[in-house]
Amino acid sequence: MDLDEIFSGAIDESAKVILSLVEVIPQIKRACELIAESFEIGGKVLIFGNGGSAADAQHFSAELVGKFRNPQRKALPAIALTVDTSALTAISNDWDFEYVFERQIEALGEKGDVAFGITTSGKSKNVLRALKKAKDMSLTTIALVGQHTQDISRFSDLVISVRSSDTQRIQEAHSVVIHLICEGIENIMSSNKK
């Protein structure tokens, strides 16, 4: 297979997965509502994931703290739990990498906050542990995953599932979902001010 065929096939598959997101618009809308409700009562969103999902957590946080479309809105309290290298390495070294997000949720999470876990596989042990801890602490829990939801749904108030088993296609769709959530939050919060 030559590169033209490979690239055309990848673009076609990516488009199909992204178009399938129309099936989860209700869940995306609900995520917007839950996060906006948290912001309205003084809460924050704690976002976490591994690898590409760690980058997505940072991207999501940056869009909320900075701006998505509306430069006039106030900064929104979002923390990516993937950026504190001292905490990440200390927790991993002193306990195990499975605890790396759970300990941060325990330290930073408060009732009224949202814990937002991202995992393409839906099986990342440290994401599962963090969502369980968040649920035990009465935080709202949201998971953004691929098609495997069995493990994560036990610890999530809301699951947004991308219907694919291909990590790259899931990651591409996750970026779209994150942008939709940011747009939805900005819309909800600007409507609430009227």
Helix (H) or strand (E) run with residue 20 in it: none
Give the CATH number for residue 149: 3.40.50.10490
Q: How confident is the model at residue 1 (pLDDT cuts 50, 70, 90)?
A: confident
Range in 18-32, 67-81, 126-140 the model is least confident about: 67-81
pLDDT score of 194? 58
Say what the pTM is: 0.96
Write out the residue range of the structural domain in which residue 52 sits. Answer: 3-192
pLDDT at 168 exceeding the cut of 90: yes
pLDDT score of 127? 98
pLDDT at 192 exceeding the cut of 80: no
- The structural domain count of the chain equals 1
Percent of the chain with pLDDT over 70: 99
Cα dihedral sign for 63, 67, 73, 78? positive
Contact 114, 46 (CB under 8 A): yes
Q: How confident is the model at residue 185 (pLDDT cuts 50, 70, 90)?
A: very high
pLDDT score of 71? 86
